[in-house]
Amino acid sequence: MISCSNPGVRAVQNIFLRRVGEYGIRKCLLEDLPSIISINWAALPEHYSDSFFEERLRESPETFLVAEDAKGTIIGYVMCRIEYGFSHLKRYGLARKGHVVSVAVLEAHRGKGIGKALMEEALKGMKERGCSETYLEVRVSNDSAITMYKNLGFQTVTTHHGYYRDGEDAYLMSKAL
Ligand SMILES: CC(C)(COP(=O)(O)OP(=O)(O)OC[C@H]1O[C@@H](n2cnc3c(N)ncnc32)[C@H](O)[C@@H]1OP(=O)(O)O)[C@@H](O)C(=O)NCCC(=O)NCCS
């Protein structure tokens, strides 16, 4: 427990789910969305409407998280969707699933454990929401993301051919929670 004589500073510290060095992981706020949308444009070829981000936040704030630096600037996020449908892990049957829709860290801040921490905290949020499994799609060429997911315990379930607009295939990766 960090002791602090300034109550204002302590209030800010308490909003973090976790610290990663100088960075903090916390739940996304509505006012964070413009920063998140700009990181999404900088880091990924898949983009979404503003209302899509708003809906994900309204629907599942436990699994929409941001990473901020020491100055309070948002430098990464993870956004998920809670779904109910066929299990990716059981041969038959339905499951409540946490779908990792988008995760990104600005290039200058990568390789410091932030992506992994965002994912781990989002997986905790999915469990809180009663999910029994999680899944995501990832470009087959995205080695750094695939390594991160494998290290987190995801396994490749199938390949979706021509999944992305430019024709690239996606691995569907899943993990029991
Ligand atoms: C994927 C991404 C979110 C990872 O974020 P990050 O903060 O750099 O990741 P971390 O530092 O937490 O590293 C997590 C794991 O990923 C792996 N990893 C990270 N960068 C890597 C690289 N360049 N090459 C190989 N493995 C890498 C490491 O194995 C690491 O695990 P370890 O520390 O236990 O060894 C980040 O690279 C990114 O934003 N990429 C662009 C957007 C993107 O591709 N998102 C995924 C779409 S499906």
Domains of the chain (ranges; CATH) run 8-132 (3.40.630.30)
Structure tokens at 3: 């002791």
Structure tokens at 86: 């066929």
Instruction: Quote the strand ranges of 21-169, DSSP E.
Output: 23-27, 65-68, 74-86, 94-105, 133-139, 155-160
Q: Which atom of ligand 1 is nearest to the CA of 112?
A: 11
What's the pLDDT at 92? 86
Dist. CA 55–CA 75, nearest whole Å: 21
What's the pLDDT at 38? 98
Q: Which atom of ligand 1 is nearest to the CA of 106?
A: 39
Q: What is the mean pLDDT of the chain?
A: 93
Give phi and psi for 30, each to the nearest 5.
-55, -40
Lining residues, ligand 1, CB within 6 Å:
43-44, 103-105, 110-116, 138, 142-145, 147-148, 151
What's the pLDDT at 3? 37
- What distance in angstroms lies between residue 46's CA and the mean position of ligand 1's atoms? 17
What's the mean pLDDT in 161-169?
97
Q: Are 159 and 140 in contact (CB under 8 A)?
A: yes
- What distance in angstroms lies between residue 74's CA and the mean position of ligand 1's atoms? 17
What's the mean pLDDT in 128-139?
98
What's the pLDDT at 79? 98
| Tens of pLDDT, residues 80-107 | 999 999 999 998 899 999 999 999 999 9
What's the mean pLDDT in 153-162?
98
- 121 Cβ partners below 8 Å, 6+ apart? 17, 18, 25, 65, 78
Count CA atoms within 13 Å of residue 88 on its CB side.
26
Structure tokens at 148: 């991160």
What's the mean pLDDT in 127-141?
98
Nearest protein CA to atom 8 of ligand 1, as residue: 110
Which residue in the block uniquely carries the two structure tokens 């998280």?
A: 65
Q: Are 37 and 50 in contact (CB under 8 A)?
A: yes
What's the pLDDT at 8? 43
Q: Are 129 and 63 in contact (CB under 8 A)?
A: yes
| Tens of pLDDT, residues 6-43 | 444 444 546 999 999 999 999 999 999 999 999 999 99
Dist. CA 61–CA 173, nearest whole Å: 23
Side chain identity at residue 136, one-letter code? L
What's the pLDDT at 5? 42
